[in-house]
């Protein structure tokens, strides 16, 4: 199977795919459309809720509800009522910022990035949130924080700063959540495009959505470009492995940053695609509630 269209939904800025093994659904967000979505690949049904503000990510919890990354912090989300409740404050004192990408490591610890609405350099950060809701700022001075993704076998964490076009790699102790003070440049895409959402497959290779390059890149642990999935739209935004066997790679895309003069030539921008690249990855991990 090559690249296929999974959902032609016309989102403004589809992001944050999260494969839930609990309900066998793909949860995702339309950031600037202010909506949380739940997609059933089997039936083709996509349900959505308007949360009234920019929503950077959706993460399922072991309790059965979800967490959303909103301006100011993390809230819980009840899909039955559509209601939200504050959970963790991140940057409520910084109204110029919003929550962006988020993920959980295998222990169920939440990692969430932030960015400034005007994308000013160095104004974002990466935070971790433990099950007891203790918040730590683990990386500062990021322009647009995306990811992270974890190669836990090697003790690595990948973080993209989309604003400067670089993917960094840090050492991380998953058992404690401690992140090394030192990082290395894993991939420099500043002359190619926007490194965005990412995931690590079962072989330890990094899959990276690269906006402006119309492609998802696969990198070896040594940082060598190993392959690409080409897309019929300019701006893929993120990736997640899922499906009943974990071998489907779901790819979200954006219309938001496509120039108005180019939109007619990209009728599928804002859609969700799926590929089966011959390798799988772990399903998205829910946040472990205490």
pLDDT band per the 50, 70, 90 thresholds, residue 91? very high
**Closest-CA residue to 253 (of 31, 59, 85, 61):** 31
Distance CA 30, CA 163 (A): 20
Overall pTM surpassing 0.95 (yes/no): yes
Residue 1 confidence (pLDDT) = 61
Indicate the burial class of 28 (C-beta count within 10 angstroms; 0-12, 13-18, 19 or more). buried
Over residues 162-183, mean pLDDT: 96
Per residue in 226-251, pLDDT tens? 999 999 999 999 999 999 999 999 99
| Residue 41, C-beta contacts closer than 8 angstroms, at least 6 positions apart | 6, 26, 243, 248, 274
Do residues 251 and 279 touch, judged by C-beta distance below 8 A? no
The CA-CA-CA angle for residues 199, 205, 211, to 5°, reads: 50
Per residue in 127-142, pLDDT tens? 999 999 999 999 999 9
Residue 257 confidence (pLDDT) = 87
Residue 4 confidence (pLDDT) = 98
- Residue 123 three-state SS: coil
Over residues 262-277, mean pLDDT: 96
Over residues 189-207, mean pLDDT: 98
Per residue in 30-83, pLDDT tens? 999 999 999 999 999 999 999 999 999 999 999 999 999 999 999 999 999 999
Kindly tell me if the per-residue pLDDT of 290 is higher than 80. no
Sheet holding 73-78, edge to edge: 57-60, 66-70, 73-78, 83-89
Percentage of residues in the chain having pLDDT higher than 70: 100
Distance CA 282, CA 117 (A): 32
């Amino acid at each position: 199977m090559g690249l296929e269209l999974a959902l032609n939904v016309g989102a403004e800025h589809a992001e944050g795919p999260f494969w839930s093994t609990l309900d066998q659904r793909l949860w995702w967000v339309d950031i600037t459309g202010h909506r949380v979505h739940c997609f059933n690949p089997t039936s083709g049904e996509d349900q959505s809720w308007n949360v009234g503000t920019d929503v950077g990510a959706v993460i399922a919890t072991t309790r059965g509800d979800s967490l959303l990354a909103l301006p100011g912090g993390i809230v819980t989300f009840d899909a039955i009522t559509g209601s939200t409740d504050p959970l963790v404050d991140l940057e409520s004192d910084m109204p110029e910022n919003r929550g962006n990408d988020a993920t959980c490591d295998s222990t169920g610890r939440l990692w969430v990035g932030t960015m400034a609405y005007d994308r000013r350099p160095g104004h974002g950060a990466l935070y971790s949130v433990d099950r007891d809701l203790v918040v730590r700022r683990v990386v500062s001075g990021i322009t647009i924080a995306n990811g992270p993704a974890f190669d836990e076998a090697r003790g690595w964490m990948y973080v993209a700063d989309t604003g400067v076009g670089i993917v960094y790699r840090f050492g991380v102790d998953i058992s404690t959540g401690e992140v090394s003070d030192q990082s290395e440049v894993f991939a420099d895409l500043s002359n190619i495009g926007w490194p965005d959402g990412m995931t690590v497959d079962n072989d330890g290779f990094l899959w990276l959505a690269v906006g402006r390059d119309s492609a998802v890149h696969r990198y070896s642990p040594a940082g060598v470009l190993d392959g690409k999935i080409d897309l019929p739209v300019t701006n893929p935004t993120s990736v997640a492995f899922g499906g009943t066997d974990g071998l489907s790679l779901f790819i979200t895309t954006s219309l938001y940053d496509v120039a108005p003069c180019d939109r007619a030539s990209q009728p599928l921008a804002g859609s969700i695609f799926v590929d089966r690249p011959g390798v799988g990855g772990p399903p998205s991990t829910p946040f472990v509630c205490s």
